[in-house]
Amino acid sequence: MSASVINNDDVSNTLREVFGFSDFLPNQEAVVKNILSQKDTVAIMPTGGGKSLCYQLPARILPGTCLVISPLIALMKDQVDAAQANGLRAAFLNSSLSASMKRRVEADLLSARLDLLYVSPERFAMPEFIERLKQIKMAFVAIDEAHCISEWGHDFRPDYLNLSTIGRDFPEVPVAAFTATATHRVQEDIVTRLGLRNPHIIRASFNRPNLFYKVVPKSRPSEQILKFVSARRGEAGIIYRTTRKSVEQTAELLSRHGIRALPYHAGLDDAQRIRNQEAFNRDDIQVIVATIAFGMGIDKSNVRYVLHGDLPKNVEGYYQETGRAGRDGEPAQCLLLFGYGDIPKLRFFIDQMPDEAEQRQALRCLNNMINYASVYACRRKQLLNYFGEELESIAKSSTLCCDVCSGQVDRIEATVDAQIAMSAIARTGQRFGITHVVAVICGEDTPRIQTLGHDRLKTYGAGRDKDRRHWRMVIDNLLSQGLIEQSKGEYPVLTLAADAKDVLFNSRPFYMLKSEVLSIPARRGKGRGTQGRTGATDILDYDEALFEKLRVLRKKLAGEQGVPPYVIFSDRSLHEMARDCPTNAAELLNISGVGAAKLTRYGKAFLDVINSK
């Protein structure tokens, strides 16, 4: 079928009958229709935004094979299982296959019996594989985790640079690049390095309304982690730690307290890492404790929390890691344990970098992460602002926003300190950066301060009773709350924003986070949430006993078929079944995620459980 004869009915029918959805998530339809029009595309969509559907649906409709380039061999089987469960002809080609299996996949490819073929960027670099691709009709190329091609991204991979030859070797084949996290600079790098031709760029909102962001001062992290996880027994979670040793210790601690947990880090051999990841994907364990080596492209949809036991190196990595929670659209928690003791450890690694420009970039990224964790400002707004997106307003009563907006953090009034800091910025002429302003406030005796005459200012030494770190936090909070601004460039300076006068002269109160240990409450209430296809989050009432029976059935079927449970149905689908209690095939088809193939394969088993409740 050519793009010219594809109509809206083809798209909507495929969405409903194959994938079991009545409508698209935000931005999915635009991406799908652009690919169907055979145009190069860059889709920057958050984790949980439904990227895989954006290339699987066109692959089902268009003639030829969609080549999917995916970075992790360990995940390809799960991706293929999920596509096959929806009735697509999908396969992967990588080093895990036997010689006979490789020959079978290659025969299917050459005989046009595949809608989707998943390969790694390393395989795409093999000349013999390129020659084989030239013998088939390729519908388009989909590149997952496209930010890996950019040295400005948080997860640069040199093997992705091989993909720059796609346009040369296949000039008539459109390319669709997908990523869940990219600043505007990384976005431009993706377009340039892939050689995309006048691409249509779809930059979705980075907002994940079902995620709750919380930062807790780090104190006895082992106890904090155990308390948090123990309050969520039965829920799947990911815990990130910085070192292999802390990963092993945390996994062992949880196991000793009866929580099924396994480690994941680069020190384990490949086979062990794969076994541990599969155990997590298949719900055989509750928690995976990992370094950042874990998680890229993970498709597990029912992760209910992501806990960072240590400070991440940058906001991009943190955003992507937290994005592995709540992919099914249901409420999930993102907890960060923040302690200033983590900063010197990260600075040590930055100082080892041989390239000064790389050092400066890494330090800027670290400072952005520290700012996120330490200031009194909406966590969600801070994340969105980092990616150049504004969030107009969030209700203070929101239960699905962050600890700041929901009043879970202790705060202190620091109006006088804010006035001192802004007065120092004003009296120094709004021409200096943070370091100099803090030095003036603390009354430091330096040649520069003396030469400039800043030791004669009224604010000189006005804050010498507190340390530099305190005043840096005051300025970070002023910046985050929009009361002062920082210029761009190599030597950024501080200036007063329009609202500064309200605090300086009109006694508007100014608040900061209180630096003391906060409690970590468990999830409250029995209600579970589910995200509609429009992105709004609604709380569903459902039969919890029936849901558990359906979950047991899903686990049994998954074990028999050797696939992760989410491949059968997501938690969201099970929650809808436990709410609506469909009694026949027609009613079951109205459940989100139930398409024709899954109805045929699993419908009777699930209806039997529902009808026998």
- Output the DSSP codes for 462-495: TTTTS-HHHHHHHHHHHHHTTSEEE--SSS--EE
Whether pLDDT at 270 is above 70:
yes
Could you tell me where in the chain the CATH 1.10.150.80 domains are found? 538-611
Nearest Cα to Cα of residue 54 among 143, 161, 163, 183: 143
Mean pLDDT value of segment 241-269: 94
The pLDDT-based confidence of 293 (bands split at 50, 70, 90) is: low
Nearest Cα to Cα of residue 511 among 391, 426, 410: 410
Which residue type, as a one-letter code, is found at position 185?
R
pLDDT at residue 514 in the model: 66
Classified as helix, coil or strand, 28 is helix
CATH code linked to domain 3-203: 3.40.50.300
Whether pLDDT at 517 is above 70:
no
Could you tell me where in the chain the CATH 1.10.10.10 domains are found? 412-513
Classified as helix, coil or strand, 290 is strand
Mean pLDDT value of segment 16-41: 91
pLDDT at residue 356 in the model: 83
Question: Would you say the pTM of this structure is higher than 0.85?
Answer: no
CA–CA distance, 331 with 566 (Å, rounded to integer): 17
Going across the sheet that includes 65-69, the strands are 90-92, 116-119, 65-69, 138-143, 175-179, 41-44, 200-203
Could you tell me where in the chain the CATH 3.40.50.300 domains are found? 3-203, 211-408
Residue 424 tokens, joined: 């120092």
Looking at domain 538-611, its CATH class is mainly alpha
DSSP codes joined into one string, 365-389: HHHHHHHHHHSSS-HHHHHHHHTT-
State the pairing for strand pair 303-308/287-290.
unpaired
Residue range 540-575, pLDDT digits in tens: 578 888 999 999 999 999 999 988 898 999 888 998
Element (H, E) at 162: none
Whether pLDDT at 247 is above 50:
yes
The pLDDT-based confidence of 138 (bands split at 50, 70, 90) is: very high
Whether pLDDT at 230 is above 90:
yes
CATH code linked to domain 211-408: 3.40.50.300
pLDDT at residue 6 in the model: 65
Whether pLDDT at 101 is above 60:
yes
pLDDT at residue 258 in the model: 95
> What share of the chain in percent tops pLDDT 90?
49
Instruction: Compute φ and ψ for 256, nearest 5 degrees.
Output: -65, -25
Beta strands of 218-327 (E only): which ranges? 236-240, 261-264, 287-290, 303-308
Alpha carbon separation from 47 to 8, 60, 67, 181 (Å, rounded):
26, 22, 21, 8
The pLDDT-based confidence of 393 (bands split at 50, 70, 90) is: low
Residue range 36-95, pLDDT digits in tens: 999 999 999 887 778 899 999 999 999 999 999 988 776 788 889 999 999 999 999 988
**Rg of the chain's alpha carbons, rounded to an integer?**
26
Looking at domain 412-513, its CATH class is mainly alpha
Count of beta carbons in the 10 Å neighbourhood of residue 520? 17
Classified as helix, coil or strand, 524 is coil
The pLDDT-based confidence of 421 (bands split at 50, 70, 90) is: very high
Beta strands of 162-317 (E only): which ranges? 175-179, 200-203, 211-217, 236-240, 261-264, 287-290, 303-308
Q: Is 354 exposed, middle or buried (0-12, 13-18, 19+ CB in 10 A)?
A: exposed
